[in-house]
Chains A and B, each alone.
Chain A
Amino acid sequence: MSKKIGLYIYTGDGIGEAVDVDKLLELATSEMSVAVAKKHEDLYGPEGLAMIKADVESEELNAIAVLGLSFRYDFEGLKFPGVYVERVGIRELVAWSKKVKEDAEDPEKEKEHIQELAEDYVRMAVTRCQKAELPTPDKLEEASEAVLVIGGGISGLSAALEAADAGHKVLLVEKEPQLGGFAAKVRKQVPVGPSYDHLVDPVVNDLIEKVQNNPNIDVRTSTEVARTAGAPGQFRISLKEAGTKSEWDAPVPLTEEEKLDENGNELSAEEQKKKYDEKNEGRHDYMEVDPNAEIVGAIVLASGWKPYEPGEGEFEHLAWGNPNVVTNVQFEELAKAGKIKRPSDGKEVKSVAFVMSPGGKEDDADFPYAGAVTSLVALKQAKYVREDNPEDGKAFVFYQHMRTPGQYEYFYKGLQNDPGIFLTKGAVTKVEAAGDGLNVTVEDTILGEDINVDVDMVVLATGMVPTTKFEPVVNFAYRQGPAFRDLDLFGGYCDSNFICFPYETRRTGVYAAGGVRRTMTIEEAMEDATGAALKAIQSVVAAEEGHAVHPRTWDFDYPDFYFQRCTQCKRCTEECPFGALDDDEKGTPKPNPTRCRRCGTCMGACPERIIGFKDYNIDIVGSMIKAIEVPDDDDDKLRMICFACENDAYPALEMAAKNGHTWSPLVRIIPVRCLGSVNVSWIKDAMSSGLDGALLLGCRYGDDYQCHFVKGSELANRRMDNVAESLNSLGMEPERVKLREIAIDEYDKLPQIIDEFVEEVLGMGPNPFKGW
């Protein structure tokens, strides 16, 4: 479709002073041949918007470029049906972040640099307008609004009730024959509301009753999910009796080791297929459709946790193996059964030591998978000892970390008031049998000395291991396998554990709540379930309306594949962080738009450059790069491209500009959805069109990753390693392409990062291929 483009430049906020706007308009109409080019000092005010509206209508414009405020500001007045709108923040990228120094040797030359920068932004904006198309939303015809809740414990019950109360049908699946989960197996529990200072009776029974009486909730006990196929809005759930095998069990792909023969060489495709079929004997292919499957729109995963069970020989110094040394869960069972009796001889227990950290003096960490909950449970169980023996019961709590966050401080205060509960920080170095009981040695206590006490029992405050550590639970029939792809960072938790996205797993439409997500109390789990239920509902709505889920909820676009040129290299299917792409027998990708979060990682991965979005693809960005004017006769006027991640790096640039930081005018910035979407062909485009360097700004990766799409910046870094090799082979300095990680709060360091890069490139001199 040929474009009739209008270009508008805002002259307020210092833009009019920083650049010669009239020259920019002149450039737009002559060189870039736009139909209309205008400026306005109050472009975003009623008058300016009315001007644009009038032009759009009278000139029948179908694309407009608006240069002024950042695209990150939302303006209803800039939305016109059928009109593509490109917005470039030259206020931040030019006017605020570029200053002619007062003591500059040649201020005219510096002004020239700034003017040329603005000119390139005009060229890039118009180029994008020429190439970009408006997205057509992919709306699911028959989206289901039902929510599947996996797990009938405190989290699952709460999530089911929340979703049902919001008007959604709920399918609640519980593995055990009865509802309630662990919350129903406690004698008493930590309070769920004010006052927080005492133990309360379990609250779960009330929830069970409500769930059973709710007509919107379909409860299936003794049931498991065999496979989850499909995508948000259209998940197909095959159920089976708990503990049994089913033909619809999700197939498991070969592991990396299984793909190798005895000599460590990769097996041929046929051999792999054979091995795969053997492994999944009796199971339907993952792409096969179960006609009897239940259809749901979204899933809340509340499968909870399993108690950490120390192995034989583990915690030997704590006398694990002695019948009177138990875990907190075993102690809870004893307490639930009645007055606590010692396992070895059935004697009534009068004194108990609770050990919170197993490491002795060397390591003050709590038990694996412990958290604030284990502190609270130790306090709770200490109270059991006192309830059973109000006169002479003694409970010792030895901790390295007493964690009672928020309102739970009142719980701590309340229990601390019991004269029979003794608390001290200290390193428990030894537990040994003494008489018919146990003797506990604690060093470095706050009592100022090393102490030991005689007790009847010792309780280890062991942790809560997420069920996803042991089994896939949701059993996805996805190309990437039945389990959540593990980041190897969070010990098997399914949660993405990225602080900005609670409840999010690495599978769109599946939201985790409760103990499967992190250790939490019953109160926290109930609140957590509410959040996850809401996320599930949001994802159903997104599927119905055809837009992405968080963090690109405004985005109606989705990736388009030009399959004729696909070489079945499988990079996109393997690198997609959310397992959105399935494939057929040959390996041709099968997109699932509602699983997609529109990060563009597939686009960055594709060596054939056949994946793209309507307004963001290889050609658009490549053309924008080529639109940059490269002077080939001036060594001072080098040109560098910067791909800045829209999630953190680009906002950080704007923050830097807003806070008065400035950086070199030689760098042209292109915002990208994620560094994972940066295709190496763009680097080639930049180098071949004579640009002198390319800088990639993305999120931190590694243990404390901040990438909104999990692995984008890490993937980009790996791809850039290959780019560096190619540059080297061409006789170019690999340092011309750099990737830097940046956190949003480090905005003040960004200008320095950019300027250092520019200095380095200036030091290398112009791109040797310039002018070719």
Chain B
Amino acid sequence: MAETKKIQPDLSFIRGLMEAGGDTVNRCYQCATCSVVCPLSTEERAFPRKEMLWAQWGLASKIAGDADVWLCHQCGDCSAYCPRDAKPGDVLGAIRLNAIKYYAEPKALADLLSNKAGVIGTVVAAFVVWYIVAFLWSLHTGEGFPFPEGTVAYHKILTFVPIDIVVLPIVGLIVWAGYKGVTAFWNDIAKASGVESYTGTAPKPAIGPLFSKYVVPAVQEILAHTRFEKCGETKERAKGHKLLLWSFIMLFIVTTTVFIINDIIFVPLLHKHFTPMPLWNPIKIFANVAAVMLIVGIWMIFQMRKQKTAEGVLQSSEQDWILIWLIFAVGITGVLAELLRLMNIAGLAYPIYILHLATVVTLFLAVPYSKFAHLIYRTTAYVYQRYEDDMRQGKAGFGMEKDVLPPGPPEGESTDEEKSEESKE
């Protein structure tokens, strides 16, 4: 007799999923229309039919080891064509939210940042903390508090030193939590593929090839939004998302550049502040363009989601809206802070600036703990997918011979031969 697997459905998992936006999961009757109409599902990685069934049966660990849910961009095509109105797209969205919580460490932060009150509370708390820091810093600098005298310049209230003192530990936490989550996720999905390395751990490539062969092409694909743009029903969402992603990258470049020029060169060596930059400064122009892109991008996303939700193409959970509003808040407070500084309205500019810092810190925190974590898990899934493809074809090296893996994933029906031919194309 074939090996049987003990099944213990996790009712609380199903309930959690239903509460997180997957309330339609039980309507599925396994016709697989979804997997067929999905523009992103492939023969080798067919979804979302199997995920629907696993979810119905409360097979939490099975779903945790499933990289395919992250290849879904919630286009909504499956939901549009589903004959039972089971909305697979939304169920997969809910599965992803649950997975983020599953891999989050500590879980309390994930709980905090997954609801409106928690996020607003975090922003308010950060706002208060920043003011306390600013107050303490004013004792050191002798600048006026809460409104330093003279022309508005934000380094008067907080220089990079106190900011970094606060932000760097948070970044450390984010990096640590992200690393923990990604490695746990990788182990689960690699284990689910049915392979173990010689040491009994989940297979993973060495750092060099990891980046050159898998991370770089995956990131390129993400930057180009190649897959997201294949979406049918909610194709437009990809545009806003692309704009937003690029604005984040540009802002990252600006922040890094300014960090180097100001925090490393100007202040310590020249003993003067590089910021605020004049408006003609190319870095400033670049930054302002990015800021506009961020606001436009998030606005497009917001409009699109609102419209598609109203049309019933997709459902939107609390977390979807939280992330949108948080990014929006970061963008608006940032632009306002700049404008108020230029208008030299100290009474408003400083509080808005502090609020901006509070939203930024909250957004940072959200990276591993909220929907924002799709950034890291989807990227990981993209990377893993390339790696697994190579493993299946025996190209991954590291002792992974051609026939280490079974000829095909459970759902695929194509033979080895067909597959290698496809890969040549």
Does B bind A?
A: yes
B227 at the interface (CB under 8 A from A): no
Kindly name the residue among A416, A419, A441, A449 whose own CB sees the greatest number of chain B CB atoms within 10 A: A419
Q: Mark A432-465, 1 if CB is under 8 A from B, else 0.
A: 0000000001110011111111100000000000
B410 at the interface (CB under 8 A from A): yes
Q: Mark B8-42, 1 if CB is under 8 A from A, else 0.
A: 11010011001000000011011000000000000
Contact in complex: B1, A413 (CB < 8 Å): no
A417 at the interface (CB under 8 A from B): yes
Q: Which of B2, B3, B30, B57 contacts A422 (CB 8 A)?
A: B57
Contact in complex: A416, B1 (CB < 8 Å): no
Contact in complex: A394, B57 (CB < 8 Å): no
Contact in complex: A447, B4 (CB < 8 Å): no
A449 to B3, CA, bound (A): 9
Closest to B23 in A: A417
Can you give 15 A-B contacts (C-beta < 8 A)? A392-B11, A416-B27, A417-B26, A419-B18, A419-B26, A422-B57, A441-B4, A443-B4, A448-B410, A448-B411, A449-B5, A450-B3, A451-B5, A452-B7, A453-B6
B284 at the interface (CB under 8 A from A): no
B56 at the interface (CB under 8 A from A): yes
Q: How far is the CB of B29 from chain A (nearest CB, A)?
A: 7
A749 to B33, CA, bound (A): 40
Chain B residue numbers with a CB within 8 Å of A451 are 4-7
Contact in complex: A416, B6 (CB < 8 Å): no
A449 to B410, CA, bound (A): 10
Q: How far is the CB of A87 from chain B (nearest CB, A)?
A: 53
Within 8 A of A (CB), among B88-118: none
Chain B residue numbers with a CB within 8 Å of A418 are 26
Contact in complex: B6, A450 (CB < 8 Å): no
Q: Which of A413, A419, A442 contacts B58 (CB 8 A)?
A: A419
Q: How far is the CB of B338 from chain A (nearest CB, A)?
A: 50
Contact in complex: A453, B84 (CB < 8 Å): no
For the complex with contacts A420-B11, A452-B7, 9 further pairs of A-B residues with Cβ separation under 8 Å are A392-B11, A417-B26, A419-B18, A419-B26, A429-B1, A446-B53, A447-B54, A449-B4, A450-B3
B50 at the interface (CB under 8 A from A): yes
Chain A residue numbers with a CB within 8 Å of B84 are 413
Chain A residue numbers with a CB within 8 Å of B7 are 447, 451-453
Contact in complex: B57, A447 (CB < 8 Å): yes
Q: Shortest 7 CB-CB distances between A and B: which pairs?
A: A450-B4, A419-B14, A451-B7, A417-B26, A452-B4, A450-B2, A448-B410
Contact in complex: B5, A450 (CB < 8 Å): yes
Contact in complex: B27, A417 (CB < 8 Å): yes
A340 to B54, CA, bound (A): 28
A416 to B11, CA, bound (A): 14
Given contacts A418-B26, A419-B26, contact A394 B9 (CB under 8 A): yes
Chain A residue numbers with a CB within 8 Å of B58 are 419
Q: Mark A407-426, 1 if CB is under 8 A from B, else 0.
A: 00000010011111011100
Contact in complex: B53, A447 (CB < 8 Å): yes
Q: Mark B43-68, 1 if CB is under 8 A from A, else 0.
A: 00000001001101111000000000
Chain A residue numbers with a CB within 8 Å of B26 are 416-419
A429 to B56, CA, bound (A): 23
Q: Mark A383-418, 1 if CB is under 8 A from B, else 0.
A: 000000001101000000000000000000100111
Given contacts A419-B14, A422-B56, contact A413 B6 (CB under 8 A): no
The range of chain A's interface size is 20 to 34
A394 to B9, CA, bound (A): 8
Given contacts A416-B27, A419-B18, A450-B3, contact A394 B11 (CB under 8 A): yes
A631 to B245, CA, bound (A): 99
A413 to B30, CA, bound (A): 13
Q: How far is the CB of B412 from chain A (nearest CB, A)?
A: 12
Chain A residue numbers with a CB within 8 Å of B15 are 419
Contact in complex: B27, A452 (CB < 8 Å): no
* Chain A interface residues toward B at CB < 8 A: 391-392, 394, 413, 416-420, 422-424, 429, 441-443, 446-454
A768 to B5, CA, bound (A): 78
Chain B residue numbers with a CB within 8 Å of A392 are 11
Chain A residue numbers with a CB within 8 Å of B410 are 448
Chain B residue numbers with a CB within 8 Å of A441 are 1, 4
Chain B residue numbers with a CB within 8 Å of A442 are 4
A418 to B18, CA, bound (A): 11
Chain A residue numbers with a CB within 8 Å of B27 are 413, 416-417
Q: How far is the CB of B424 from chain A (nearest CB, A)?
A: 29
A224 to B18, CA, bound (A): 55
A419 to B410, CA, bound (A): 25
A424 to B9, CA, bound (A): 13
A492 to B224, CA, bound (A): 70
Chain B residue numbers with a CB within 8 Å of A424 are 57
Closest to B54 in A: A447
Chain A residue numbers with a CB within 8 Å of B29 are 416
Closest to B411 in A: A448
Chain A residue numbers with a CB within 8 Å of B53 are 446-447
Closest to B18 in A: A419
Closest to B29 in A: A416
A418 to B14, CA, bound (A): 10
Q: Which of A394, A443, A447, A453 contacts B2 (CB 8 A)?
A: A443
Chain B residue numbers with a CB within 8 Å of A447 are 7, 53-54, 57, 59
Q: Mark B192-219, 1 if CB is under 8 A from A, else 0.
A: 0000000000000000000000000000
Q: How far is the CB of A418 from chain B (nearest CB, A)?
A: 7
A394 to B13, CA, bound (A): 14
A416 to B14, CA, bound (A): 13
Chain A residue numbers with a CB within 8 Å of B18 are 419
Chain A residue numbers with a CB within 8 Å of B8 are 453-454
A737 to B50, CA, bound (A): 62
A693 to B313, CA, bound (A): 72
Q: Which of B3, B4, B6, B50 contacts A448 (CB 8 A)?
A: B50
Q: How far is the CB of B86 from chain A (nearest CB, A)?
A: 10
Q: How far is the CB of A417 from chain B (nearest CB, A)?
A: 5
Q: Mark B401-422, 1 if CB is under 8 A from A, else 0.
A: 0000000001100000000000
Contact in complex: A452, B5 (CB < 8 Å): yes
A572 to B207, CA, bound (A): 95
Closest to A420 in B: B11
Q: How far is the CB of A57 from chain B (nearest CB, A)?
A: 68
A450 to B5, CA, bound (A): 6
Chain B residue numbers with a CB within 8 Å of A454 are 6, 8
Within 8 A of A (CB), among B359-398: none
Chain A residue numbers with a CB within 8 Å of B6 are 451-454
Q: How far is the CB of B109 from chain A (nearest CB, A)?
A: 28
Kindly name the residue among A392, A423, A441 whose own CB sees the greatest number of chain B CB atoms within 10 A: A423
A449 to B59, CA, bound (A): 13
Q: Mark B138-181, 1 if CB is under 8 A from A, else 0.
A: 00000000000000000000000000000000000000000000
A448 to B1, CA, bound (A): 15
A451 to B58, CA, bound (A): 14
A153 to B8, CA, bound (A): 41
Given contacts A413-B84, A419-B15, A452-B7, contact A446 B30 (CB under 8 A): yes
Closest to B4 in A: A450
Closest to A429 in B: B1
Chain B residue numbers with a CB within 8 Å of A422 are 9, 56-57
Closest to B59 in A: A447
Chain B residue numbers with a CB within 8 Å of A419 are 11, 14-15, 18, 26, 56, 58
A172 to B15, CA, bound (A): 51
Chain B residue numbers with a CB within 8 Å of A450 are 1-5
A420 to B6, CA, bound (A): 17
Q: How far is the CB of A385 from chain B (nearest CB, A)?
A: 12
Chain B residue numbers with a CB within 8 Å of A453 are 6-8
Q: How far is the CB of A407 from chain B (nearest CB, A)?
A: 16
Q: How far is the CB of B350 from chain A (nearest CB, A)?
A: 52
A419 to B26, CA, bound (A): 7
Closest to B26 in A: A417
Q: How far is the CB of B35 from chain A (nearest CB, A)?
A: 13
A416 to B18, CA, bound (A): 14
A442 to B11, CA, bound (A): 20
Chain B residue numbers with a CB within 8 Å of A429 are 1
